Copies of this chain bind each other. A is one copy, B any other.
Amino acid sequence: MRLVIARCSVDYAGRLTAHLPLAPRLILVKADGSVSIHADDRAYKPLNWMSPPCTLKEGSGDDAGVWTVVNKAGEKLIITMAEILHDSSHELGVDPGLIKDGVEAHLQELLADRIETLGEGYTLIRREYQTAIGPVDILCRDADGATVAVEIKRRGEIDGVEQLTRYLDLLNRDPHLAPVRGVFAAQEIKPQARVLATDRGIDCAVLDYDALRGIEDDKLRLF
């Protein structure tokens, strides 16, 4: 990883065109060839960047101080250096990577293991039920044997209701499954999403992650 602090101006021509006037910034050149330009605020987003795979060429002669980064699609990032204030390189090696807990996939596992959380007598058909337009998070049956499609979100918003609606439209065309009800399950459901779901006859279920995990932990302790 190469760290450069420099007064520079930047031009990007690709999916849009953008320009950064001359100012001091951090230029980050990573081992995969990617380049990002950071101001002294915002942790997450660089001012400008080029994602890998891409190649960096440092100009020489007339082009001294002009760095050009290009990718396969022909997008171009041009950094014009006015003054280099710091320049250092460091060997970091490959990162072992982030270990996460509490994302949607985990919620899905927990709920599938305790599908009766949605109601007494519920039984799991399967997780990640494949359809032509994508996977349904959970397909199950209620106490009456009716098919239920469950869409799980960490935060339930309108997009999730739309997604579930598309699945329900499709599933209800299958005479082996129809009629299929929908359940929109999330740790938090936004009011607008609840209104839309209710309007479409979709039930909402608020999931308690800690409780689900607690039940799971109990289960693990018991067996």
| Residue ranges of A at the interface with B (Cβ–Cβ < 8 Å) | 1, 3, 5, 15-21, 23-26, 28, 30-32, 34-36, 38-52, 85-86, 88, 90-103, 133, 154, 159, 162, 192
CA distance A5 to B90 in the complex (A): 8
CA distance A216 to B120 in the complex (A): 63
Are the CB atoms of B48 and A42 closer together than 8 Å? no
CA distance A203 to B93 in the complex (A): 51
Contacts of A154 in B (CB 8 A): 15
The 9 tightest CB contacts between A and B, nearest first, are: A34-B43, A39-B95, A16-B102, A40-B92, A31-B40, A32-B41, A36-B43, A43-B49, A24-B92
Contacts of A92 in B (CB 8 A): 5, 23-26, 39-40
5 residue pairs of the A-B complex, CB under 8 angstroms, read A16-B101, A30-B43, A40-B95, A44-B46, A88-B88
Could you say which of A30, A41, A96 has the most chain B C-beta atoms within 10 Å of its C-beta? Answer: A41
CA distance A18 to B88 in the complex (A): 30
Are the CB atoms of A19 and B95 closer together than 8 Å? no
Nearest CB on B from A102, distance (A):
4
Contact A18:B98 (CB < 8 A) given known A86-B90, A90-B86 = yes
CA distance A98 to B35 in the complex (A): 16
CA distance A45 to B46 in the complex (A): 9
Are the CB atoms of A51 and B42 closer together than 8 Å? yes
Contacts of A99 in B (CB 8 A): 18-21
Contacts of A93 in B (CB 8 A): 23-24, 40
Are the CB atoms of B3 and A3 closer together than 8 Å? yes
Are the CB atoms of A95 and B23 closer together than 8 Å? yes
Nearest CB on B from A83, distance (A):
12
Contact A103:B16 (CB < 8 A) given known A43-B36, A95-B39 = yes
Nearest CB on B from A48, distance (A):
7
Contacts of A49 in B (CB 8 A): 43-44
Are the CB atoms of B52 and A42 closer together than 8 Å? yes
